[in-house]
Structure formats: structure tokens, C-alpha cells
Amino acid sequence: MKIGILAVQGGVAEHERTLRQVAEKYEGKPWGDLEIVQVRRESQLEGINGLILPGGESTTMSRLLTLSGLDKVLAAALQEGLPAYGTCAGMILLASNVLDTRPDAIWLHGLDITVRRNAFGRQRDSFEADLAFHGIDEPVHATFIRAPIVEEIGSGVEVLCREPEGRIVAVHQGNVLATSFHPEVSGVTEVHELFLSMCEEAGFTYK
Ligand code: GLN
């Protein structure tokens, strides 16, 4: 299996480290041979079975994606069924509607959700919590850093996790997964494992 990490800006190394941890955990099994590639150009999507969109600053990523033309390539790939997992800014990029962003920001319409950027306010802009996560047995230790909230979901969207006040912080639709928080910062591997299972099930290879 080959997984790309969008590497125009943001927390690429944390995802790479988490995927390597998963590979180590599954040594000798198919996931033990995980190939990881950083994606900055269209040619680097070649052969990937899934793409991770990291945390960072969604408006900066948006600008860089527009400049390189990757925005259109990624939107089309998502339409074709490319499995994707976005954390925080990555979730924002995967949304179909974004509130409280810059007027020139773009997003990729991979998930039928409306997200609000920086939705936790100043006092709670960064915090951690152990959260029940649908499809994962143990509570997930979630790190929130100026995180977005999912304010609306379309009918095909499954809610996987809510923060302590009940707002939606993880969703799944088709081949796309997104979390407002950063398991890759907490050292949690289970959400990435869930994503790899989705990639396996999808059986998609980018050509
Ligand atoms: N607030 C950032 C944004 O709007 C996201 C923060 C993050 O990815 N940790 O892009």
C-alpha cells in the first residue's frame, strides 16, 4: 500500500511518523510494507492508494494549491474516489463549505460538510480530551489546536466522534475521513489504521 501526504505546508512529519509507527506495528503483514510519499506535485500522486491532508493553515494551503493547480487535480481525484484523510486544516480543505475563512480561500468538496474555522474561541483554542470514536474500541486521545467544528452534515455523512460539548469533530463519507483534531500529535495510531482499512476496502490506485 502506498499513502501520499500532501506536503505543501503544515504537519507532514507527524503523519509520516504515525504511519511509520503503524508499519512497525504490522511488520510482516501487508501494512508493514507501507510506502509513504510526500505530495507537492501531481506526478507524486502516481500509484497512491490514499492521501492524507495534514494540519497547518488552511488558507495558506489553499493559496499554494491554487498556485500549483493541485486544487483542481485533487478535487477531481476525490470525485473519482481517491481515499483521503484530513486532520484539522486538512478537514477544512476537504469540506464542501467553510465559514470564517478568507474570501479567496478554496476547498475541495470531498465531504458534504460545513465547517467553521477556529471554532473553539481563544480560551480553549488548544486542548486535549479522551473521546469515544465510532469504529475504535478505546477512547481516542485527541489534541485540538485552533480546531474547526463541523456545523452541518449532508445525509451521506456518518458522525464518528463528538467533543465533550457534543459538537461534531470526526466524520466519514464514502472514502473520505476527517477529524478536527490531531491523532498524529497525540501519538494515537488507531485513526490512521482506520484510514488504511478504508483505503484497502476502496481498492483505489491513482493513475
Ligand atoms: N486554524 C487552522 C486553519 O484554519 C487549522 C489549525 C490546525 O490545522 N491545527 O487552517
What is the C-alpha to C-alpha distance for residues 44 and 39, in angstroms, rounded to an integer? Answer: 5
In angstroms, the Cα distances linking 74 to 42, 70, 139, 159, 206 are 9, 6, 32, 24, 11
| CA–CA separation, 13 and 2 (whole Å) | 16
- The residue nearest atom 5 of ligand 1, judged by CA position, is 89
How far is the centre of ligand 1, averaged over its atoms, from the C-alpha of 27 (Å)?
33
**Contact between 45 and 72 (Cβ < 8 Å):** no
Does ligand 1 come within 6 angstroms of the Cβ of 191?
Answer: no
Q: Residue 167 to residues 68, 162, 180: CA-CA distances in angstroms?
A: 34, 5, 11
User: Using a 6 Å cutoff on CB, does residue 117 contact ligand 1?
Assistant: yes
* Residues placed in the known binding site for L-glutamine: 56-58, 117, 145-146
Q: How far apart are CA 144 and CA 120, in angstroms?
A: 9
Q: Is the beta carbon of 176 within 6 A of some atom in ligand 1? A: no
pLDDT at residue 124, rounded to an integer: 83
Does the beta carbon of 56 lie inside 6 Å of ligand 1? Answer: yes
Q: Which CATH number fits domain 2-202: 3.40.50.880, 3.90.1150.10, 3.40.190.10, 3.40.50.720?
A: 3.40.50.880
Residue 66 Cα to ligand 1 middle (Å): 18
| pLDDT tens-digit series, residues 105-150 | 999 999 999 999 999 988 788 999 999 999 999 999 999 999 999 9
CA of residue 148 to ligand 1 center, whole Å: 7
pLDDT in tens, 24-68: 999 999 899 999 999 999 999 999 999 999 999 999 999 999 999
What is the model's pLDDT at position 123?
78
